[in-house]
Chains A and B, each alone.
Chain A
Amino acid sequence: NAGVTQTPKFQVLKTGQSMTLQCAQDMNHEYMSWYRQDPGMGLRLIHYSVGAGITDQGEVPNGYNVSRSTTEDFPLRLLSAAPSQTSVYFCASIPTGHYTDTQYFGPGTRLTVL
């Protein structure tokens, strides 16, 4: 298994541009989530999904959209990038109904918005 994969690893955007951060997992996990990590602030939950077709907001959802059309993929969309969205983004997954299990994290995408 490749686990949780994220693309791209690095991205530079200009203010106002849009882009999609890709996240995929091959472990048949139903639950997937997106976090952002900023210096001195730990990780904060952006959006999460408990299965295909079901998504919900986390702590810091503004400026981000998600959809979940398949179990494997959970893309994060920035519609109009802002400098405040400069951060490192992590995708994570856990098996369905196994919230007692540890979460599997991807390697992250480092995004800079100029």
Chain B
Amino acid sequence: KQEVTQIPAALSVPEGENLVLNCSFTDSAIYNLQWFRQDPGKGLTSLLLIQSSQREQTSGRLNASLDKSSGRSTLYIAASQPGDSATYLCAVTGSSNTGKLIFGQGTTLQVKP
């Protein structure tokens, strides 16, 4: 059974710092991996989607990497801002590609001014 783990559960950093969020999964047979952002009391917003054949994806100050063989992904946030404060979730789609997402527990990020 696929399990997704995110470490740390919470992170607090000063504004301007570069940071890395970690995501690991137990079964390397995935179709893709997505990173989502969730603001308090809100739904999920997709940040980056990495196909299993890709190594990384970039969007603005965000860079997500994928190492399928080791079952790991990282989300790198450059020059963090208070507006980046939110919960970040990673989720994988299994190799059968049914659209079902398996989520990690999330990392809650606080960026202090």
Chain A residues with a Cβ under 8 A of chain B: 4, 31, 33, 35, 40-45, 48, 50, 58, 90, 92, 94, 99-108
Contact = CB atoms under 8 A, between A and B. Distances in A.
A100 B42 CA distance: 24
A43 B46 contact: no
B43 A105 contact: yes
B34 A102 contact: yes
Contact of B99 (A4, A42, A43, A99): A99
A43 B34 contact: no
B21 interface: no
Contacts, number: 64
B97 to A, nearest CB: 5
In the A-B complex, the 8 residue pairs with the smallest Cβ-Cβ separation, listed nearest first, are A42-B103, A102-B46, A105-B44, A105-B43, A43-B103, A107-B43, A42-B105, A99-B99
Contacts of A100: 31-32, 49, 51, 97
B69 interface: no
Interface residues of B, number: 27
Interface of B: 4, 9, 31-32, 34, 36, 41-46, 49, 51, 89, 91, 93, 97-106
Contacts of A48: 98-100
A44 B103 contact: yes
A43 B89 contact: yes
Contact of B100 (A40, A45, A90): A45
Given A100-B32, A102-B46, A108-B42, A94 B89 contact: no
Given A90-B43, A102-B46, A42 B100 contact: no
Given A42-B89, A43-B89, A103 B46 contact: yes
